[in-house]
Structures are given as structure tokens and as C-alpha cells.
Structure 1
């Protein structure tokens, strides 16, 4: 067993021995002390070790079972694929096919999908013989798929050491505030949340994992705020991880007197750009928010503001386990915690990982981000979206001639449309958008749209000579229309 993994396992055994009666994990109906948690993990580790070789696919709702099986896969050194609940059936099928997962544990609603992908149900697992060698890089512990910047997400292969180094640094960053109760908000399939749970275990904290429905979360962008806020308040959480849109809801609720910060001591926020004004509002209501930055390819968190080292507007200083520098063009480069490789692609052999993000450092080493090199945008829910993918889908139905999609830092994807037939009614355009949305995962769907007053053209400076949209020019010209479409 790899040293970092052995150390983590020894730590859990130490907690089970010295604090065995302490509450470690609770869900909607289940509770585990640290002694009971270790016993459950070791039993399932042994069970997994006895199964045929191959990756384990997990598509379980948040709860104790999801974390225990995840830990069992980690300690049995079996590659684990976490299937995001916000993926479409086609995307899940791609992940299962590419990874050649031979075992699966899923929610009942996904069982028909497993049958369609060649799995048969056994006593504990769903089974499927591998057809070909998936080509997993040696040492792969987790396959975390990006949220699909195009229709086909990419599988990021990570080793246990990279993930556990991040978990230890997250625990160290929050240690001055001494949080002892962690509430998981994001799906376990989100790497940031997965490692947040490991960090809470490193701290010997009590972890609460509740199903998405109980939390009021559906898909990647649907929130029942009454349920979510009640869950945060009733859980007694002292630490949690949020994406910007969830932070906005929490801050707004506190401002309106719906709830108070309560016992919260450490609220990490990441996954997408956080507006400086929102951070100021959080500070004004006494919410201890710490913005960070990371990416799956670097095992999640790279930089983080932390107690005693906060610079509003920045994403913090690099954590001790990584080195960060800037390329000549300002691109952020990271060394010390890179992926093993993308599944199905050549392994990553370079020392520095090019993040695709542009940034700058201040004189004290705090990193400030300045946007992305490519067109891909990140919604306020932390989902990566390539607008060209959605635009292509919108223009496939014979109704829409031109489409421009925007959603950077927003909780809604916005579209500007020009129809094939200028006499086309708004009702026909709306139906075309709805039909397109049915083919897309929920985080990529168009939530609001507006009809363009005239088509894009090279003469107006909104198209290149070969017909591609000049995105910055379009954003500048139609900024008011786009801003008017945004709702709270």
C-alpha cells in the first residue's frame, strides 16, 4: 500500500482506538461512531478485494454508504469512478464504456441504464466483464470526470497520494478555526467535496452526508432554498464547501434575517469565479468565507485564502504541496500535484500543468485570476460549459441560424438567437430551445434567451472572416440585453 494511503488508514485506526465512541458519520437515518466506521470500511474493503479486477463505478446519492464504499475502494486500491448525478444518460454511458468498469453500485433509478450498458445484478454489485483494457495509468485510485465542457467529458486519473496531500492541506488550512462538524453540500462525485470529506476525517470531525433531495438540491442548478438553509442550520455545521451560487443564497438569507451564521467557522468557496462584492457582503454579515482555486487535473485545490492570510479578490496563496508560476502569456502553471493522465490519452509526463487560466501574483504571493484562455466558461454552480457545443445544438434544428451562449459566473445560461426565417415567431423559437434543452444535461441548458435585432456579420465586426463569433465584441455590444435577462 502506498505511504500516503497507509498513513490515512493508520489515522482512521488511531481515531477508532482512541475516540471510538465519537460520532464520525451521520446520514438521514444512519449513524456511525469512529469505531463503527472503521469496521464498516474494513469489511467492505475485504469484500471489494475478493471481486474480479476492474474499476468500481459509484452513482450513489450522498449518504454514509456512498462515503464508506468510496473509502473501501481507496483502501482496496481499486480504481473508483464517481458518476456525477448531473450527467446525462449518454455521458454516463460514455464514462462506463471508457473506464471499462466491471463493478457498479447505483441508485435504483439508474438500474435500467446499467442493464443497457451490459451489467447484470449480483448479490451486492452490478457486474460486467471488461471487453478491452481501459488503459488506466498505473496507480489510478480515482477517475473523476470533468463536468462536460463538450458533449463527451474527459476522465481525469488521479493517484491516492495526490488526493490525500490536498486533503491534508485543506485540514491544515482550516485547523486554526477548529471546526469539528462538517456538512457535505455538493455531490460526492464532485472531487472538491470528495476531498473535503477526506479532510474532515483527517481532522477527526463529525461528518454529515444527506441525500440531495433532503438538502433541496436537484441536478446541478436547482435549489430549494428553504430546505437547504434548514439543513445547514439544523445540522450544526461548522464547516462546509460551497460554489458561488450557493454562497449567494446563504449570504442573502442572512442579510434578510432568515437565518444567522450560527456556528459556521470555515466556509470554503470555489469551483467558479466569486464576485468581490459577494465576498464583501459575506464579511459584512459575519460569514467566515475563504475563496480558493483548483482544478481536477491538479487533484482539486491549488490555492486558498485561509485564516490569517486573506486577500479579498484573490484566490489565496498556493498551498504548500504545490508550486505555481505564470507562463510568458500569463497562463497559470502548476507543479507538484498533477493528474496521471486523461483516460484514453497519453500519460502526462511534464513537470508543469497548463491550467488554461490567466492570472497574476501580487507582491505577497496571492494569485488573482483574469479569465480563461479558451472560450469555455464556468457557471456559478461550478459547471464547465463550452458555449460552442450548445450553439451547435441550437442551430441543428433548422429554426435557429445563429446562436451565442454566455454564462460565465452566472447561475443561468443565456442565449442570443437569430432565426433562419426572420418572420419566425417567438413561440417557435421557444419551442426550438426547449427541444434542444431536452438533449442536453441540465447544466448546459439555455435558461433565458433573446432575439437578436439583426444577424451577426463580419461587416459589423461580430464575426471573423471565416464566420466564427467574435465573443468579446458580441459581449460588449449586447451587454445590456444579456444583463437584463439575468434573474436572481
Structure 2
């Protein structure tokens, strides 16, 4: 694995070098927020100055102008740092322009490792009014093939030529130089897609069904989210952001826009290196990246937060540079958050969805309630339907590709939750996942699973109980956990749960739920239908036998 950041001394005032954040960072936060307005079950976003929210129609051109401004202010500062080298602010605008001129196609897919080339291509497409289709590296061959055909992708830029060549055998292949990287370009002639006119980003979300759906996003929508995030996290000039999730993930992509908009440095390690994949990252690899990059900001999914918390509890010293760790993508145990805060980790839970251009709510400094996902950001509003479903407005997508525009002021998220009297949103799981026991008790499985996975002894859990007299669970222990430790963890979770939601019986599964095997969504949520189908006999045995079984 290449070194992410050179070991250099801190910069002196007035000096800017690649990889060095200048001292005396300048705050670019807008005016102080007011309290949210809560009326009739609706919460509006914290208020900021109007000019900070309405960032312009074309997010990419606005962003590139900001990059140019930072290039004049600190030309030698590193903007994008990858394993193979970095790109200075002085170089970045010209590299974006050259890439825009060299890239063919109108609907362009990006399938490549995290690195400067990914971001340069993304910005180049946005500036030239074309549609960028991020291709997640964790998608299966079938999913990738579906996206290429569903979106009508007429050009793919990739560092995985064999894979794309097999999917598009008729495409014309050439090489393309972006920055310091030589990539492969696959071009084919397809009819123009009028339904993609004005769509800047077509991001695919697989949800829980496994068949990706294209979410159509416009530049102005993304800009509003970027400005909200910049305000919420208090991003400053010269800040460092460490990217630990694939750039094809919408939140990670927008987080880099925030970094570039304030003149920050984005550290982009290759996630295919041993120990660095999203589903297989080790605690040692994670802490090593943080030590080398010395970031101010991180975006983590719950499993990565669990690794970080365990490392700090084992004696790893937290770098003083860390100011904001955003965590989301799946349910986060309140106990895990409490452990993190007790260690002094600046962890802030948030909530969002692709259909709302990523982030809707976020805890932040001075406005945090553990257990909640925060208040709505300035661009967004949240209200709760009569059946408990979370509805959102502001920053919404145009619609799914191939379907009519949604045409709704409020979008039904499919999540269950409630707002407290200060406008903080609390989630209670997925509407479609809720089950009813034989005694008529409605239970959200994510609620019970959060309590189980609080314990270091339990790595993953999937609970079940539809039409059954009690709740059961399929448990994946931590690698070093004993059966006794798991039993104790279940007992402790049951002590925190009401009797009707307690886990009465469970079986042990020796291997983790896997993204590759179709048991997890890309953001780490369980695909319950798949898991329950594969373990139908095991769950039946739970209700027939009195003793726990080991798979």
C-alpha cells in the first residue's frame, strides 16, 4: 500500500506546499443558525443566510470557480492526494478542462479506483453538461450490466478494462490520460436519451431488492446539499478529508465537493489494497490511514465506526486533528455512539437517501442528541405521516430513470420515526421490515439488532418473528467471541428491551453476512428476504428446538 501523506513538518505562515494544511484556517460558515420550526409534526431545516443555500444553478461551474479562487490564493496546496501522487490547486482547473475536451460520450460511466482521476473526470463531466453515471465497484457483474443498459451508457472510463470489455464486447476501446493515470475508454454509439437532459448525476441504488434503480439528480439539487454540509460540519480552508468509502457512493462524492469548495485536501487511498475494502477493512489498516493522513473529517459507516472505537479502547491514540466524524448509511447503535463519545471521538450521526441527494439530517457541534440522526439541514424539511413514516421535502431527485417524475412535494422514505419537540429526528427502522408477532406486537428488527450489536461479542445479527410467539435471531459472533460471551451479550440486550421484543432463542452463523453473496446492500443494510430465504430451515428449527444450534 502506497504512503498516503509524506511525513513533512507543519507549514509556516504564508507557505503552502503539497500535502500541508496552512495554519490559521479561515472559517467559511454562514450566519449562525436559528432553532428549527416545529409545527404540525413538521421540522424545517436550521436557518442560514440565503446566499449560502442558493449556490447557483450549475454546481460544477460554481465549484470550479471556487477551485480557481483557491488556486490563486494557495497554488501549491494539494487538492487531491492519491497513492500515486497529488494534484495541486494550480493544476486542477486545467486538468478538468483538458479532461472535459478529451472525454467522449454524453452518458459516461466511471468505474475506477478512488483517486484524483475519478474526481477530475466527474468534475469535467459536470462542467460540460453531460450525465455522470458512477459505477460502484462493489456491484456484481449482473448489476453493472443492468446499469450500463438501463442508463444507455455510451462511454465508460475505467481501470478495469477486462471486466468492461466482457460486458461491452462491441465497444470501441482506447486509452485516456487523466492527470498521472492512464485509463481505458470504451465507446459505443447509442441513441440520444432525452429523458436524461439536465440530469447531472445518475446514481444507482440497489436498496434491498438487488436490482439497481437510477436516481436522477440535477446540479442545483446537489449544490444545495453541498452548501448545507459545508455549513453543518464547519468546513474550513485547508481542512483535510480522508475518503474511506467508494467515490461512487453519493455522500462520499459530495463530501469531496465540500472539501474542494473550501480549499481543502482530499486524501484518496486505493480501497482495493489488502485490508482496505469497505466490507473487509481491518482496524490496523483504518488507524494507519488516519495516522498518515491526519484528517479533520471522516465519513464512516457503522462497521468502520465500530473498528475505530475498538482501536481507541485498545489504546490507539486519537489524532488531535479530527474534528468531525459523520456516520450513517445504516442503523447505528446508541450504545456504540455513547462509547465513541466517552472516548472523545467527535462522532455525529446523520440520515439521508439517494432520492434526497444524500444527506437530510445531521447532528453537529452544538446541536447533537445521541440516539437521534439530528435536525434537518438548511435545504430540507421533515414531517411524520400518520402511520409513522418519515416524509422529506427539499433537495429531492427528479425521479427514477424510466419512470414518470415523482411530482410529489413530500417524498415517502420508507423509514419509520418521530420528531422530538426540538426537531431532532429519531428512526425506528424500515416500514417494510416491521413484523408482527403472534401476540400482535409490532417490532422493528433494526431496533432489536442495534441492541444486540452493541456488544463487541456480536458482529452482525438478523432477527425474525413474523407471526411467531417470540423473537429469534441469527447471530454472527466477533472472530474471538466465545459462545458464552454471545449468550451474555444477548442477555444484556434483552435487559434493555421490553419483554415482547426480547430474543428468546438464536443460532450462530460462522461466516459474516456478505455484500458479495447478496446478503447486504452497498451501505451495509441487511437484505432480509435473501437471508431469511437462505436460513428458512434454521429459523424453523429455532421454533422447534429448545437448544441453540451452531451452523
- TM-score norm. by structure 2 comes to 0.69
Equivalent residue runs for 1:267-416 within 5 Å: 267-375=325-433
Matched, 1:266 2:324: yes
SS at structure 1 position matched to 2:386: coil
Higher relative contact order (CA 8 A, sep 6+): 2
SS at structure 1 position matched to 2:320: coil
Q: State the aligned residue count.
A: 418
In structure 1, distance between residues paired with 2:516 and 2:78:
43
In structure 2, distance between residues paired with 1:196 and 1:119:
33
2:172 equivalent in structure 1: 120
CA apart distance, 1:369: 0.8
- Which sections of structure 1, spanning at least 5 residues, go unmatched? 382-386, 388-403, 412-429, 461-476
2:35 equivalent in structure 1: none
Q: Could you tell me which of 280, 296, 302 is aligned with 1:222?
A: 280
1:473 equivalent in structure 2: none
In structure 2, distance between residues paired with 1:14 and 1:176:
17
After superposition, the C-alpha distances for 1:297-343 in whole angstroms (9 at most, x for unaligned) are 00000000011111111100000111111111121111111111111
Equivalent residue runs for 1:58-73 within 5 Å: 58-73=110-125
Note if contact 1:139-1:159 (Cα within 8 Å) is conserved in structure 2: yes
In structure 2, distance between residues paired with 1:441 and 1:365:
34
> Cα–Cα, structure 1 residues 134 and 93, in superposed 2: closer, same or farther, change >3 Å?
farther
Note if contact 2:59-2:222 (Cα within 8 Å) is conserved in structure 1: no
In structure 2, distance between residues paired with 1:70 and 1:89:
23
Note if contact 2:297-2:323 (Cα within 8 Å) is conserved in structure 1: yes
- Which sections of structure 2, spanning at least 5 residues, go unmatched? 1-55, 177-184, 435-444, 454-461, 463-471, 480-508, 522-526
Q: Could you tell me which of 191, 201, 217 is aligned with 2:260?
A: 201
> Cα–Cα, structure 1 residues 437 and 161, in superposed 2: closer, same or farther, change >3 Å?
closer
Equivalent residue runs for 1:18-97 within 5 Å: 18-48=73-103, 51-52=104-105, 54-97=106-149
Matched, 1:189 2:248: yes
> Cα–Cα, structure 1 residues 176 and 363, in superposed 2: closer, same or farther, change >3 Å?
farther
Note if contact 1:295-1:301 (Cα within 8 Å) is conserved in structure 2: yes
After superposition, the C-alpha distances for 1:42-87 in whole angstroms (9 at most, x for unaligned) are 2112223xx34x2100011101111111111111111011111111
The two structures, once aligned, show a CA RMSD in angstroms of: 3.5
CA apart distance, 1:226: 1.6
Note if contact 2:77-2:89 (Cα within 8 Å) is conserved in structure 1: yes
SS at structure 1 position matched to 2:272: helix
CA apart distance, 1:351: 1.1
1:101 equivalent in structure 2: 153
- TM-score norm. by structure 1 comes to 0.77
Q: Could you tell me which of 205, 209, 217 is aligned with 1:146?
A: 205
After superposition, the C-alpha distances for 1:66-114 in whole angstroms (9 at most, x for unaligned) are 1111111111111011111111000000000001101111123644545
In structure 2, distance between residues paired with 1:70 and 1:406:
41
After superposition, the C-alpha distances for 1:109-165 in whole angstroms (9 at most, x for unaligned) are 6445455453220243210111x5545343111111113421311111101111121
> Cα–Cα, structure 1 residues 406 and 70, in superposed 2: closer, same or farther, change >3 Å?
farther
After superposition, the C-alpha distances for 1:202-251 in whole angstroms (9 at most, x for unaligned) are 22111100100347323x52123222220111111111100011001001
In structure 2, distance between residues paired with 1:300 and 1:453:
35
1:170 equivalent in structure 2: 229
Between Structure 1 and Structure 2, which shows a larger proportion of helix residues? 1
Matched, 1:257 2:315: yes
2:496 equivalent in structure 1: none
CA apart distance, 1:168: 1.4
In structure 1, distance between residues paired with 2:246 and 2:114:
6
Note if contact 1:147-1:153 (Cα within 8 Å) is conserved in structure 2: yes
> Cα–Cα, structure 1 residues 323 and 264, in superposed 2: closer, same or farther, change >3 Å?
same
After superposition, the C-alpha distances for 1:441-488 in whole angstroms (9 at most, x for unaligned) are 77568699695374699xx9xxxxxxxxxxxxxxxx99x969x99xxx
CA apart distance, 1:262: 3.4
SS at structure 1 position matched to 2:195: coil
